[in-house]
Amino acid sequence: MSDVVLEVQGLNKAFGGLRAISDLSFRTVRGEILGVIGPNGSGKTTLFNLITGVFPATSGGVRFRGNSISRLPTDAIARLGLVRTFQSATVFKQESVYENIRRGSMFGCIGNPAWFFRKGVISAGAKKARATVEELLEFSRLADVAQVPAGNLPYGKQKMLGVAIALAQHPLQLLLDEPAAGLNLAETEAMAELIAQIRSKRHIDVILVEHDMRMVTSVCDRILALNYGKVIGIDVPARIVAHPEVIEAYLGADFE
């Protein structure tokens, strides 16, 4: 039981009359890569927004490493080590790649302006940031474009950078929102490799929302399948892709 990292319990979210998430429960264990699949509008991104406190749940709770995070603001959740990325390439477009990753590392130390008065916060943070940036530039294969403004990078590199910014916070668990969306085949493979290395080399747990079934099935240990905000199955990839409800949701009932 002590291995449980994230625990979602009876989560509900209604937007007006629309139930985006209904009675959703699951848990992840240490060292796991969990995939989340489902057709468009099935509530995948809403689930991320609920977990990271972007908006409050209608009911239900989320626990991270044993502590309830349901009522915490999104920045406090990030500082606890539960960090997310965004669906579209979300980077500081006018800043260099280097500065983007540096902010990722630095900002957690200065979440509140009052912390500027704590002794040594800035110098310690800056020192840590320098080491982090150098290491992550190598890890995410962005070293050759370190000084390029992020907005000038090709889309695939921008998405890599989005992941690197998140990694710069030294998260315990990473929530990746469709990291392969909009990428070509080679870029998707590079991203899949990066995600595998996030676990094997950095020992960070991952929850991966993704449409690319090949990527999900190859990278993930277990897959959570959603439809209309409900869980239709949570199991190892081989069994999920054979699950009749999953096939129906993705391909239609008549598919044989």
Partner 1 sequence: MKAMKSALKFLSIIVILAVLPFVLRAPFLTHIGVMIGLYTTLALSMNLMLRIGQISFAHGAFMGLGAYGSAVLMMRLGLPFPAAFFGAAFGVTLLAWLVGQVFLRIRGVYFVLLTFAFGEIIVLMFIEWVSLFGGSNGLAGVPRPGLFGHEIQSRDGFYLLALALAAFAYASVRALYRSELGAVITSLDENEALTRSLGIDSRQYRLLTFCFSAFLVGMSGALYGHYLTLVTPEDYGFWVPVNLVVINVIGGGSHPLGSILGALLLVPLPEFLRDAKQYQVLLYGILLIFFLLFMPNGLYGVVEKFRRGRKGAAQ
Select the residue interacting with partner 1 from 63, 65, 86, 182 (CB under 8 A). Answer: 86
Instruction: Report the C-alpha gap between 36 and 208 in whole angstroms.
Output: 6
Scanning 37-45, 63-71, 99-107, 229-237 for contacts with partner 1 by CB under 8 A, the matching segment is 99-107
Instruction: Report the C-alpha gap between 45 and 211 in whole angstroms.
Output: 12
> Letter for the amino acid at 191?
M
Nearer to partner 1, 208 or 232 (CB): 208
Query: Tokens 């998430």 — which residue?
Result: 21
Residue 113 engages partner 1 in binding (rule: CB under 8 A): yes
Q: Give me 58's structure tokens.
A: 């209608």
Instruction: Report the C-alpha gap between 128 and 120 in whole angstroms.
Output: 12
The radius of gyration of the chain from alpha carbons, rounded to an integer in Å, stands at: 19
Residue 67 engages partner 1 in binding (rule: CB under 8 A): no
Scanning 55-63, 73-81, 137-145, 231-239 for contacts with partner 1 by CB under 8 A, the matching segment is 73-81
- What is the closest distance, in whole angstroms, from the C-beta atom of residue 56 to partner 1 in the complex? 15
Cα torsion through 244, 250, 253, 254, rounded to 10 = -110
SS3 annotation, 30-70: CCCEEEEECCCCCCHHHHHHHHCCCCCCCEEEEEECCEECC
Nearer to partner 1, 35 or 162 (CB): 162
Residues 167-196 that bind partner 1 (CB under 8 A): 169
Nearer to partner 1, 15 or 116 (CB): 116
- Classified as helix, coil or strand, 86 is coil
Residue 225 engages partner 1 in binding (rule: CB under 8 A): no
Select the residue interacting with partner 1 from 57, 91, 225, 246 (CB under 8 A). Answer: 91
Query: Tokens 């889309």 — which residue?
Result: 155
Nearer to partner 1, 114 or 186 (CB): 114
Nearer to partner 1, 35 or 104 (CB): 104
- What is the closest distance, in whole angstroms, from the C-beta atom of residue 110 to partner 1 in the complex? 6
Q: How would you list the strands of the sheet with 67-68, edge to edge? A: 18-29, 4-15, 59-64, 67-68
- What is the closest distance, in whole angstroms, from the C-beta atom of residue 239 to partner 1 in the complex? 33
- What is the closest distance, in whole angstroms, from the C-beta atom of residue 53 to partner 1 in the complex? 9
Nearer to partner 1, 92 or 250 (CB): 92
> Letter for the amino acid at 219?
V
Residue 54 engages partner 1 in binding (rule: CB under 8 A): yes
Quick check: 198 and 174 in contact, CB under 8 A?
yes
Residue 132 engages partner 1 in binding (rule: CB under 8 A): no
Nearer to partner 1, 104 or 233 (CB): 104
- Phi, psi dihedral angles at 51 (to 5 degrees): -60, -40
Q: Tell me which residues touch partner 1 (CB under 8 A).
A: 52, 54, 73-76, 78-79, 83-86, 90-95, 99, 103-104, 106-108, 110-114, 116, 122, 125, 165-166, 169
